[in-house]
Chain A
Amino acid sequence: MITLSNIEKVYQTKSIETVALQHVNLRVPKGEFLSIMGPSGCGKSTLLNIMGLLDVPSQGVVEIDGQAITSYKDKELAHIRNEKIGFVFQSYHLVNDLSVLDNVELPLLYRSSVSASDRTKLAKTALEKVGLSARTKHFPAQLSGGQRQRVAIARALIGQPQIILADEPTGNLDSVMGEEIMNILLDLNRQDGTTIVMVTHDENMAQKTERLVRFFDGQQVSDAKVFANNLQQV
């Protein structure tokens, strides 16, 4: 589903060159739930942004669904993101001025093939899936952290993307809420076959996924399958 070949990311300022990622080779097969762990600043989020085509690598090739993403124009990248990828962020990034329903509908605004009534129907279905169908008219500020993250997940899945990239989705939540969110993601992966890549600091959450990749100083240091709390090196 996603293949990263020899990815490097270097941030260049006038005086300093910061290497965020180096020699990253990673293949995420279709339907896999992969978690990425590592200390802060090790390049996890940068990697996720590159996978999500929000950022471009300094070197290397990203392939999505067998398509090498090189020299794509802004519009083409936007189209691929819209069709194939859903994002879940640690701080939810809901649009505070829009209702829950409008927030969830947002990705479909950029699909001309979906009518306004279908948009609303799909948004309601997505909210039902995350258990928030009673909150369609609420605004983000009226919701708890866990509820906001569920709205964010509904927004990520409304377009039925093949991939969901989740950047510390439970990072701002207490353990109970975190558990709830994790279960929703696991359901999505198991029932719908959605490929999920999740960056996390939480070892327990990572243990629930199928595969765990660890990073340190911009480099991939381990890659292991998870078998009922036991890791097996790939």
Chain B
Amino acid sequence: MKEKPYWSPYVSGVGLGITLLLAFVFMGRGLGASGAIMRFTTAIVDLFAHDHVMANPYFAKYAENPFSNWLVYEILGVMIGGFLSGMLAGRNKWRTGRGPNISKHKRWVLAFVGGAIMGFGARLSRGCTSGLALTGGATLAVGGWVFMFAVFAAAYATAYFVRKQWI
């Protein structure tokens, strides 16, 4: 099945915006992602070192029952929605996103490193682009806007140094 092209960013943006708005209208809260990942991480660490998790005030907050948490169900939904969209467009394929000048394996290493940096930063900011920039941006929260500009500034600045990976 031939891959269909991506939809226009403005159309997708409107769709995303309406979804975000519905979250506000129904629940009085916005979206998020890093919180669910944090909960998942804590759950795994909890399996191996329960006392350690409980002793650490930061981890302990995330150790409660994952099945009563809004973000966990939301992320489950993201998986379903993303999969169905990719399926309908014929875009579900095993591959690695990378530029033409880098190998698959080097890209994987950089993805891990980038992920680690981002995970750290996301927890420091108490949110990521979905939870803080999108949600905070829409509610005009100062933190959200400051965060968003910081992210873009740093990403543009770093892009030069990793250009071999993408272009």
Bound pair: A and B? Answer: no
Mark B residues whose CB is within 8 Å of A: none
Mark A residues whose CB is within 8 Å of B: none
